[in-house]
Amino acid sequence: MTARPKPGSKADRDVLRHEMTRAGCTVADIAMEMRARFRMRPREAWRHARGWTLQEAADRITQVSSSLGEAVAADASLVAKWEKWPGPSARRPTPAVLLAMTDALACRVEDLLDLEDRRAMPDGDLRLLSGAISSPEPIPPAPIATTAPVEPSGNEVVRLAADESATWAQWAEASNVGDIALEQLMADVQALASDYLVSNPLSLFVRTRALRDRVFRLLEGHQYPRQVADLYVAAGYLCGLLAWTSSDLGRLQDADTQGRTAWLCAELAGNNDLRAWVLSTRSKVAFWDGRLRDAVNYARRGATCRPSGTVSVLLACQEADAWSRLGAEREALGALSRAAEARDTLRGEDEVGGIFACQPARQENYAAAVQLRIGRPVDALRAADGALALLKAQPVRAYGTEAQIHISKASAHLSTGEAEGAFEALAPVLALPPDHRLEPVARRVGELSADVGRAPATGSVGLRTAIEEFCLDSAPRHIALSPGEGTA
């Protein structure tokens, strides 16, 4: 004797659907009965009222969404999660998904939502769907099969297998992003990286975060493997930019978190240039966090990626910077020498540019700071003057780099007892608006206070007062005093 299947099994659903169809019931009637009898969520009930598998529903949703203005890449797993929401291990269907479902199932939006859904759905989504919910035009029910399902056999099995493969190929061929869209995404990344050199860091952080979220949402969908790699590259650079900005705003722990995510994206993309830039970013964060050995190791590890473009120059400069902080003169000068060699043997161009590029002025800025720390103020002054001359020749002058060059020049003057020269060199830095007074700039200016105290020349008292006022009105301090939650 065959055991009776449990209530709500496929056999029960098939029997109920065919009985109600023979009785003249509509699909909506069948879905309502399935919800009541088998305790199904509304979206699941409508699918079973159609007699579709999860994959069949996914195929139809993907297919119809292309004509609705926003492509939805569905698969069986996603449909199951959309159906079970807002239960555990489920996923909230977006308005685009719900509209695609209504089109595929030939029903209304309100047919797919119950009170539990509406309570859990964000107000913004409900507002977006309000027009569709209030639409007075009923969608005519699509015809459904009126005969009992017959298990295929023989040639039918072969034909069915071919249809299943064709259906899968249709899904595999679908993508929620095109090549033009990917090209635009990278153009947007490049624009943000360039804007960082001249923009308010906090407003740029907000723009970068919005674009990162857009890329993350795309990665939750379905793309060709090469498109997936391109999306991970974009996400990696964006997280790297968020890490750089977080560091410049004094949020080093948040910067480290962004750096780890950027590294994951680089690994998933398999892109050596991105790996190198992420390691450069992590070296910067470690340096300002006082983890100087980590800064050296990140920089050296980045160099082993054998990247193209100018990141190899920057990595050597960052290694020299960390060694000089550690008091290792020979290692610092050796790293500066490798930076010069990397400049002479550059291959390829920077993929992104902006903050993800090391122009000659930026290289000389590092050289000036390193020469200062190893006790060579004359060489530091020469490097700073050279950096300023190079910077003036650039079409875009990065205010952060320019400020640090002036700080090195001021520090070199103080080291030789020239307080007036230091005040003159530091004047452009002290004139920076508060939102351009980044953490590295404010910290380096603050370090000058001790040097000013040791300088007996006229004007040192006024310089020290100006430095203290500058540090009290910096971008990181404004964020720390903000009533919000910062940039994390």
DSSP 147-173: S------THHHHHHHHHHHHHHHHHHH
Amino acid at 413: H
Q: How far apart are CA 144 and CA 284, in angstroms?
A: 63
Question: Helix 399-415 and helix 360-373: axis angle, to 10°?
Answer: 30
Query: How many other C-beta atoms lie within 10 A of the C-beta of residue 467?
Result: 23
Which band of pLDDT confidence, cut at 50, 70 and 90, is reported for residue 453?
Answer: low
Q: What is the pLDDT of residue 127?
A: 79
| Whether pLDDT at 147 is above 50 | no
59 vs 325, residue with greater confidence: 325
| Whether pLDDT at 181 is above 90 | no
1 vs 123, residue with greater confidence: 123
Say which range, 50-64, 83-97, 359-373, 470-484, has the weakest mean pLDDT: 470-484
Amino acid at 49: A
Q: What is the pLDDT of residue 196?
A: 92
CB 364 within 8 A of CB 373: no
Q: How far apart are CA 430 and CA 52, in angstroms?
A: 69
Q: What is the pLDDT of residue 63?
A: 85
Beta strands in 118-260 (DSSP E): none
215 vs 127, residue with greater confidence: 215
Q: How far apart are CA 274 and CA 120, in angstroms?
A: 39
Query: Which residues sit opposite 356 in a β-bridge?
Result: 353
Q: How far apart are CA 52 and CA 41, in angstroms?
A: 15
Say which range, 1-5, 20-24, 26-30, 383-387, has the weakest mean pLDDT: 1-5
| Whether pLDDT at 472 is above 60 | yes
| Whether pLDDT at 415 is above 90 | no
CB 249 within 8 A of CB 261: no
SS3 (DSSP) at 481: coil
The pLDDT of 254-279, averaged and rounded, is 96
| Whether pLDDT at 151 is above 60 | no
The pLDDT of 54-68, averaged and rounded, is 83
The pLDDT of 179-185, averaged and rounded, is 89
59 vs 322, residue with greater confidence: 322
The pLDDT of 214-219, averaged and rounded, is 91
| Whether pLDDT at 67 is above 80 | no
Percent of the chain with pLDDT over 70: 84
Query: How many other C-beta atoms lie within 10 A of the C-beta of residue 29?
Result: 15
Q: How far apart are CA 298 and CA 296, in angstroms?
A: 6
Amino acid at 120: A
Q: What is the pLDDT of residue 139?
A: 46
pTM to 2 decimal places: 0.66
The pLDDT of 475-482, averaged and rounded, is 63
384 vs 25, residue with greater confidence: 384
Which band of pLDDT confidence, cut at 50, 70 and 90, is reported for residue 393?
Answer: confident
The pLDDT of 9-17, averaged and rounded, is 85
Q: Cα(first)–Cα(last) distance of the chain, in Å?
A: 64
Q: What is the pLDDT of residue 370?
A: 96
CB 298 within 8 A of CB 277: no
Q: What is the pLDDT of residue 146?
A: 45
Where do the H-state alpha helices sit in 249-328?
252-269, 272-288, 292-303, 311-325
| Whether pLDDT at 93 is above 80 | yes
Say which range, 226-240, 249-263, 423-437, has the weakest mean pLDDT: 423-437
Most trustworthy range by pLDDT among 24-28, 294-298, 482-486:
294-298
For CATH 1.25.40.10, list the domain ranges present in the chain: 179-480
Dihedral angle over CA of 27, 33, 37, 42, nearest 10: 60
Greatest alpha-carbon span in the chain: 107
Mean pLDDT of the chain: 85
The pLDDT of 208-226, averaged and rounded, is 90
| Whether pLDDT at 480 is above 70 | no
Which band of pLDDT confidence, cut at 50, 70 and 90, is reported for residue 468?
Answer: confident
CB 368 within 8 A of CB 409: yes
H or E element, residue 174: none
Q: How far apart are CA 255 and CA 284, in angstroms?
A: 10
Q: How far apart are CA 401 and CA 433, in angstroms?
A: 15
Which band of pLDDT confidence, cut at 50, 70 and 90, is reported for residue 487?
Answer: very low
239 vs 220, residue with greater confidence: 239
Which band of pLDDT confidence, cut at 50, 70 and 90, is reported for residue 312?
Answer: very high
**Closest among 289, 205, 290 to 239, alpha carbons compared:** 205
**Closest among 351, 315, 354 to 335, alpha carbons compared:** 315
Q: What is the pLDDT of residue 222?
A: 81
Q: What class is the 179-480 domain? A: mainly alpha
| Whether pLDDT at 357 is above 90 | yes
The pLDDT of 405-421, averaged and rounded, is 86
Q: How far apart are CA 59 and CA 101, in angstroms?
A: 11
Percent of the chain with pLDDT over 90: 47
